[in-house]
A and B are shown apart, each in its own frame.
Chain A
Amino acid sequence: MDPFKRGVKNVLRNSTRSVAVIIILSLAVGLSLVMVVARQSVDQKISSIKSSVGNTITIAPAGFSNFSSLNNDLTTSQLSKIKNVDHVTSLSESLSDRLTTIGSSQPSFGFNSNSSNSTNQTSLTSPVTINLNNVRRHFFNASGSSAPTNFSLPITIIGTNNPYQVNQSTISITEGKIINGSSDNNNVIVSTSMASKNSLKVGSNFKAFNSTLNVVGIFKTTTKALGNTIVVPLSTLERLTSQSGAVTSAIATVDTSNNLSSTTSAIKKILGSNADVQNSQQQANATIQPLQSVKTIAVTSLIGSLIAGAIIIFLIMLLLVRERKREIGVLKALGASNVKVIKQFTSEATTLTLLAAILGIIIGGLAAGPITSTLINNTRSNNSSPTSFVQRGALTRQAGGGFAGPRFFSGRGFGGSLRANLLNVHAEVGWSIILYGLAVAIIIAFIGSSLASYLIANVRPAEVLRSE
């Protein structure tokens, strides 16, 4: 029986202790695997998000927010300058407003609300259904108003010169045709959900701003926010709302991602403090910030679990060496070299850790998905920042007492779609992870038994006669 076999056999010498050690070690190995899986999954997701963002720069008036009405729209002069910035290939301009359903009640917050005007009304009803109790609790009761029974969510109307891209979502026409963004007529496109809710078809008419608008096309609803949107040419909305030349947001497209940063700086220089300028990479970075936190947590926990595992096996080996000091003396007295005795103890430590690794891999495989999701969810909720206008989905005007804030539209817009994407992290235990688990076990065994080896080398063979 060689030293390896003796080491393996020694694992069974005290089965209760061995089982306890294996369970504790397996938790350390399992946790380290979970952290590796979480890190890998998050890395993949970050790469995927970064590669999916376009070469665009979003420009909005400074201080533009859900509950303000600062009348600080982007000016024609500013937009002309932006168009002339190097590397800007196109500029999508848009104006947004809200329409309330004729006959529905709206809360008042004391703001200068366009949507409370009688002209900002439509015959349409929002396809988005919300919990009325939340509305009452958060808005009506809070302001001392009585809760209405005929409440309907306002509808967003967007006027744009680029109807193919609305709030950085690509518009896909399912029926009819797209509107001409540079025209000034009463043609509109509506979402499939809006059409369905209001029984609209291509050729149907409805009322808005005391005018009759014609549905020329129906586009696919990709998000709830987009589903609650109707799109008209920019000039049409300016005319209907009597806001000639007004633009509430613009999206500049840059030729390549390499020029994104320099072009953003150039636009910021032109607009100064009059506008908030953020490129898609910055938006993506802000969005993936929770994932970066998860990565940090994963690495810290990985190191921690490795150290814990090494300490456990080290203490066990220390205990074994102290307990078997006399046996080591016997082996040395019989002619065993230090190397042979160390081999025996190292194989014992390796057997313990490999058994723990197998159990750890199973634990890691089962726990990787739920723990990764929990980490992302917790970190995401802790990191959600109220300062980013993109994250708040504020690409639409929402100036008129818009209580359609983040609570109802948290997934709206470009930032919103990215954030929704964050939750879709796929944690998978593949062969590489299993091999990693085994490698972790060997590292733990090596670290844990190296000091034991030192102690073994220092046991004098005369120990065998100590108690004689």
Chain B
Amino acid sequence: MLKVENLTKTFKQGESNITAVSKIGFSIKDGQFVSIIGKSGSGKSTLLSLLGTLEKPSSGSIVIDGEDVTKMSEHELTNYRCKSIGFVFQSYNLIPNLTAIENVMLPLEFAGLGKGKRFERAKQLLDQVEIVEDKQTRRPTRLSGGEQQRVAIARALANKPKLILADEPTGNLDSQTGKKIFDLLHNLARSENTTIVAVTHDLSIAGKTDKVFKITDGKLKA
């Protein structure tokens, strides 16, 4: 269960304070696929970075499975991100000089898994997202956009996280590939009982998720 209460984030810009997220509150059950929609600058990405513990909120709480992540130290947050949260980005963010399988092995290495087990797990995940063996040893520049996003999803799933946060996961893909990626995420949410929160502009995709939150000027409307 993910529970957000009175979440606020303000940034300093010059001498004035800008509130990107204002007193947001919601809860998501385990295994649900939730989408957040909103215009550019509405605070979607800030909310996502708060949920992903990439930034600390100005006030409020984020409780995941009974643990308030806003009260964790930097060191605890690093471990928490490593083991409990997976990220999928719009521009994939794969490390360019590592192969697909090496990219998937990265979070496993950070979690302290042995080399052999890392390789096995990464291979299994790439098979699961339908990256054929030949392409598993290719660098990202030699994979298509859809393939790169599949590798990114495999990387996000590596440590069996409780929560996957996806920022515009289909934004850089054509509609057909985007639909395939969405279906992949949806199926994973079902099969792995993983909670997925995805920020999207695509209303047709958002319409297929379990829950849709609309964010306007930092405030949430369910």
Give the B-binding residues of A (Cβ under 8 A): 1-2, 6, 9-10, 12-13, 326-327, 330-337, 340, 460-462, 464-465, 467-468
Known: A334-B155, A335-B107, A340-B110. 11 other contacts (CB 8 A): A2-B109, A6-B98, A332-B81, A333-B87, A335-B159, A336-B78, A337-B110, A461-B54, A462-B49, A462-B55, A468-B89
- CA A69 to CA B159, docked complex, whole Å: 99
Beta-carbon contacts of B42-57 to A below 8 Å, as 1s and 0s? Answer: 0001001100101100
Whether B81 pairs with A330 at a CB distance below 8 angstroms is no
The answer to whether A460 touches B55, judged by C-beta atoms less than 8 angstroms apart, is: yes
A465 and B49 CA atoms in complex are apart in Å by 8
CA distance A307 to B95 in the complex (A): 33
* A467, B90: Cα distance in complex, Å: 10
Taking chain A's interface residues, is the majority helix, strand, or loop, or is none over half, making it mixed?
A: helix
Q: B48, B79, B97, B98 — which one has the most chain A CB atoms within 10 A of its CB?
A: B97
B91 contacts partner chain A, Cβ-Cβ < 8 Å: yes
Bound form: Cα–Cα A337–B49 in Å: 18
Interfacial residues, chain B to chain A (CB-CB below 8 A): 45, 48-49, 52, 54-55, 75, 78-79, 81-83, 87, 89-91, 93, 95-98, 102, 105-107, 109-111, 155, 159, 167-168
Contact between A468 and B81 (Cβ–Cβ < 8 Å)? Answer: no
How far is the CB of B14 from the nearest CB of chain A, in Å? 19
Cα A331 to Cα B109 with chains together (Å):
11
Whether the pair A335, B111 counts as a contact (CB closer than 8 A) is yes
- A333:B90 contact, CB within 8 angstroms: no
**CB of B173 to closest CB in A, whole Å:** 14
Give the residue of A1, A336, A467 whose beta carbon is less than 8 angstroms from that of B91: A467
> Are B89 and A464 closer than 8 Å at their CB atoms?
yes
CA distance A51 to B13 in the complex (A): 73
Q: How far is the CA of A357 from the CA of B218 in the complex (A)?
A: 55
Q: CA A330 – CA B91 in complex, angstroms?
A: 12
What 5 pairs between A and B have smallest CB-CB spacing? A335-B82, A335-B110, A462-B54, A461-B54, A334-B107
Contact A464/B95 with A332-B78, A334-B110, A334-B155 known, Cβ cut-off 8 Å: no
Q: With A1-B98, A334-B81, A335-B81 in contact, is A468–B45 under 8 Å at CB?
A: yes
The answer to whether B97 and A468 touch across the interface, beta carbons within 8 angstroms, is: no
Chain B residue contacts of A337, Cβ below 8 A:
75, 78, 110
Q: How far in angstroms is the closest Cβ of chain B from A266?
A: 75
